[in-house]
């Protein structure tokens, strides 16, 4: 790397984040704000696990422009990211959600129904690795979004990569972990897990990897295809 990376860093203040949200088009609607409010009322600080609307709008956009018809999500909680993903699907598209706990899904279903996307979402309750392994051999996805236990990410990547269609890709959430990945004093298990994930992905020869500074860090992964002459 030759250029000074600090010259290209955008200081993202809360005001600038607000400005971004205020300039989304289409704007954030009442289903999203209602789900955020209901999640905070029922789950308190855990509501911070919901993705933000800027990231959600990007997820919807990526589903749309990639033409994805089959999408998987690992880690659904109260269904915020699933809501955005499902809104990007065409009629007849499917979103398969793998979530450990049934309770948060109750709120998710209310929002999905209000948005008119409930019929395209299936939820499989239990450990996601078991759920993915139990899918039919011919189950394929165009896009996989991973946002669950941080120590499990590499396992989810390896379970989902063989399920991708030829142009399919994965999106891994929280890969910058509030910037804690570069704090040498932070040796929390989740921080270490994300560091190991990022290092392992950067060292692999079978995937292309682009860490994006969206939300809490969103890494795009896809199988590397040989360049043909
Ligand atoms: C960060 S939250 C997901 C937030 C959600 N994507 C959203 O935007 O609203 C992580 C979720 O992963 C789930 N989870 C943790 N370990 C899991 C596992 N082994 N299998 C499936 N889900 C898991 C948790 O129960 C939790 O609901």
Does residue 156 line the site of ligand 1, with CB under 6 A? no
Confidence (pLDDT) at 228: 64
Confidence (pLDDT) at 225: 86
For ligand 1, atom 23, name the residue with the nearest CA.
100
- DSSP-derived letter for residue 105 is H
What is the Cα–Cα distance from 138 to 118, expressed in whole angstroms?
Answer: 24
User: Would you list the DSSP string of 80-92?
Assistant: HHHHHHHHHSPTT
Confidence (pLDDT) at 229: 58
Determine the residue of 35, 50, 59, 76 to mutate for testing ligand 1's pocket, defined as the one with the most ligand atoms within 8 A of the Cβ atom.
Answer: 76
Q: Is the pTM of this model over 0.85?
A: yes
- The answer to whether 170 and 161 are in contact (CB under 8 A) is yes
Confidence (pLDDT) at 27: 97
For ligand 1, atom 27, name the residue with the nearest CA.
77
CA of 2 to the centre of ligand 1 (A): 39
Does residue 144 line the site of ligand 1, with CB under 6 A? no
Dihedral over Cα of 161, 167, 172, 175: its sign: positive
CA of 77 to the centre of ligand 1 (A): 5
Q: Which two tokens stand for residue 167?
A: 């142009």
Confidence (pLDDT) at 117: 98
13 CB neighbour count, 10 Å cutoff: 9
Confidence (pLDDT) at 96: 99
CA of 71 to the centre of ligand 1 (A): 16
Q: For each successive 10 residues of the chain (229 residues), what is the average pLDDT? A: 68 92 97 98 98 98 98 98 98 98 98 98 98 98 98 98 98 97 97 98 98 96 82
For residue range 15-24, what is the model confidence (pLDDT) as tens digits?
999 999 999 9
What is the CB-side half-sphere exposure of residue 12 using CA atoms within 13 A? 13
Q: Which two tokens stand for residue 98?
A: 């793998």
Confidence (pLDDT) at 2: 53
Specify the residue for token string 């897990």: 193
What is the Cα–Cα distance from 140 to 108, expressed in whole angstroms?
Answer: 24
CA–CA–CA angle 22, 23, 25 (5° rounding): 115
Q: Which two tokens stand for residue 102?
A: 């049934």
Dihedral over Cα of 167, 68, 133, 176: its sign: positive
Q: What is the dihedral of CA 16, 2, 194, 221, to 10 degrees?
A: 90
- The answer to whether 86 and 112 are in contact (CB under 8 A) is yes
Determine the residue of 48, 59, 75 to mutate for testing ligand 1's pocket, defined as the one with the most ligand atoms within 8 A of the Cβ atom.
Answer: 75
- The answer to whether 147 and 73 are in contact (CB under 8 A) is yes
CA of 93 to the centre of ligand 1 (A): 22
Confidence (pLDDT) at 12: 86
Confidence (pLDDT) at 9: 77
For ligand 1, atom 14, name the residue with the nearest CA.
148
For ligand 1, atom 6, name the residue with the nearest CA.
76
């Amino acid at each position: 790397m030759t250029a000074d990376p600090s010259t290209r860093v955008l200081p993202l203040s809360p005001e600038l984040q607000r400005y971004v949200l205020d300039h989304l088009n289409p704007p954030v609607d009442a289903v999203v704000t209602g789900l955020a409010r209901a999640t905070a009322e029922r789950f308190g600080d855990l509501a911070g696990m919901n993705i933000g609307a800027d990231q959600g709008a990007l997820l919807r956009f990526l589903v749309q422009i990639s033409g994805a018809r089959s999408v998987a999500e690992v880690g659904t909680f109260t269904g915020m990211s699933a809501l955005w993903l499902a809104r990007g699907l065409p009629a007849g598209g499917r979103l398969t959600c793998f979530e450990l706990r049934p309770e948060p899904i109750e709120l998710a279903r209310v929002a999905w129904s209000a948005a008119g996307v409930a019929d395209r979402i299936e939820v499989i309750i239990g450990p996601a690795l078991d759920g993915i392994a139990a899918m039919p051999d011919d189950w394929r996805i165009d896009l996989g979004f991973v946002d669950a236990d941080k120590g499990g990410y590499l396992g989810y990547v390896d379970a989902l990569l063989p399920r991708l269609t030829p142009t399919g890709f994965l999106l891994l959430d929280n890969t910058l972990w509030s910037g804690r990945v570069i704090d040498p004093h932070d040796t929390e298990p989740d921080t270490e897990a994300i560091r190991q994930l990022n290092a392992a992905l950067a060292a692999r020869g079978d995937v292309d990897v682009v860490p994006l500074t969206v939300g809490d860090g969103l890494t795009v992964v896809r199988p590397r295809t040989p360049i043909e002459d």
